[in-house]
Structure 1
Amino acid sequence: MLSALHKQLLNNYQQDFPLSPTPYRDIAEQLGVSEDEVLSAFQALSEQQMISRIGPVIAPNAIGNSALVAMAVPEADLNRVAELVSAYPEVNHNYERENRFNLWFVLIADHEAHLRAVIADIEATTGYRAMPLPMLADYFINLGFELNLHD
C-alpha cells in the first residue's frame, strides 16, 4: 500500500524534480514534511521497485553518443537478460516489446568507441546479439504519466 507521501512523490516529481543543490529538501518544503521523510520514501519506492532511478533524461546524442538497441531473446531467458542489461550504468532504461526483437534499451556513452564496447560486452555477457539502431529522426515522447491516486 502506498502512503500519501509515496503517491505525491510518484505523481508530482516525474518531470518537475527540483534542479538545485538541495532537491530533497526542496521537495520536503513543498510537501510539508522533513527531508529525511522524503529520502526514506524514495528509498522505500526503490526497494519496492516502484522506481528504478532518479536522474535526468538527456536528448539523444546531446552529450556523448546514444543508441536504441534491440535484442531477440527467448522468452524463457528474457528476465535474466533484462536484469543483466539493466545493471550497466550506460543503460538508461529497457523494456519488453511484442516482437521477435523483444528486448529494447537505450544506451548512452561518452563516445562512439565506448558505446560499441558496451554493446560488445552486453553480447558477450548475455550470449545474444544486440542490434544498435541509428536515429533517423528525433521524436519527443513524454514518458510521464498521471497516477490514479484514489484509494
Structure 2
Amino acid sequence: MHCQPQDFDMLDRRLIDCYQRDLPVCPQPFQAMAERLGTSEAEVIARLQRLQALDVLSRVGPVFEHTLAGASLLAAVAVPEEERDAFAELINQAPGVNHNYAREHHYNLWFVMTAPEEQCLDERLNHLETMLGRTILRLPMLESFHIDLAFTIPWAELERI
C-alpha cells in the first residue's frame, strides 16, 4: 500500500520521528514511549501495528551493540536443497540462533549464533555441527560497521508534493 503524508497524524509523525533511535530499554518500553508522547501504551501499540501493516515500519525493537552483550558469529552450512527447510528448523532450535536465512550458494543456510562468551559459543557451534552432521563454516567479524538507518522526515515538504 502506498501511503501519503496526510495519512499520518501528529502522533504518527512524532512516533516515527522520536523512535527511529533511542527505543527505551526497560520493562515497559511502550509505556515509556506513551508517557513521552502524551498518550496511552495501548495507543502506541495500536499505532505501531498500523504502521507495520502499512509497511511504513519493518521492525520495532532496539539494536544492541552486540560486542558488549557477549560473543557472536556469522555461520553457514551446506545442506541438500531438498532438505533445507528441515535443516533450518534444526538450526532454529539451537540456543542463541537468530537471523537464519537461505542463500543461493553452496553454503545455502546462513545464521548468526550468540552466546554469553566465546567458549560457550564454540560449544554451541560444536554441538550444532554434531547434531546436523555437517561442517559449519565459521565467519568471525573482523571489522565492525555501523549503518545508521534513521533519517529526518521533511513532513512539510512532503505535504506540498
| Structure 1 segment 85-100 matched on structure 2, within 5 A | 85-100=91-106
| Count of paired positions | 138
Amino acid at match of 2:64: V
- Measure, in 2, the Cα distance between the counterparts of 1:32 and 1:83: 43
Q: Which runs of 5+ in 1 are unaligned?
A: 147-151
Following superposition, the deviation at residue 65 of structure 1 comes to 1.8
- Provide TM-score, normalisation by structure 1: 0.62
What secondary structure does 2:66 align onto? Answer: coil
In 1, Cα distance between equivalents of 2:89 and 2:22: 28
Task: Name the structure 2 match of 1:133.
Answer: 139
Match of 1:59 in 2: 66
1:149 match:
none
> Which residue of 74, 81, 86 maps to 1:80?
86
Higher-Rg structure is 2
Contact kept? 1:86, 1:93, Cα under 8 Å: no
Query: Closer, same or farther in 2 for the Cα pair 1:56/1:85, shift >3 Å?
Result: farther
Residues 119-138 of structure 1 show CA distances to partners (whole Å, capped at 9, x for unaligned) of 11212222322111122222
Q: Which residue of 2 aligns with 1:19?
A: 25
Asked whether the 8 Å contact 1:73–1:103 carries over to 2, the reply is yes
> In the TM superposition, what are the counterparts of 1:100-111 in structure 2 within 5 Å?
100-111=106-117
Which structure is higher in helix share? 2
Q: Which amino acid aligns with 2:65?
A: I
Mapped to 1, the partners of 2:39 and 2:97 lie a distance apart of 33
Quote the offset at 1:115 in angstroms: 0.7
Following superposition, the deviation at residue 69 of structure 1 comes to 0.8
Tell me if the contact between 2:25 and 2:62 (Cα under 8 Å) persists in the aligned partners: no
Q: Compute the RMSD of aligned alpha carbons.
A: 3.9
Identity, % of aligned positions:
37
**2:3 maps to which residue?**
none
Partner of 2:154: none
For the residue of structure 1 that corresponds to 2:142, the secondary structure is coil
Unaligned runs of 5+ in 2: 1-7, 53-57, 152-161
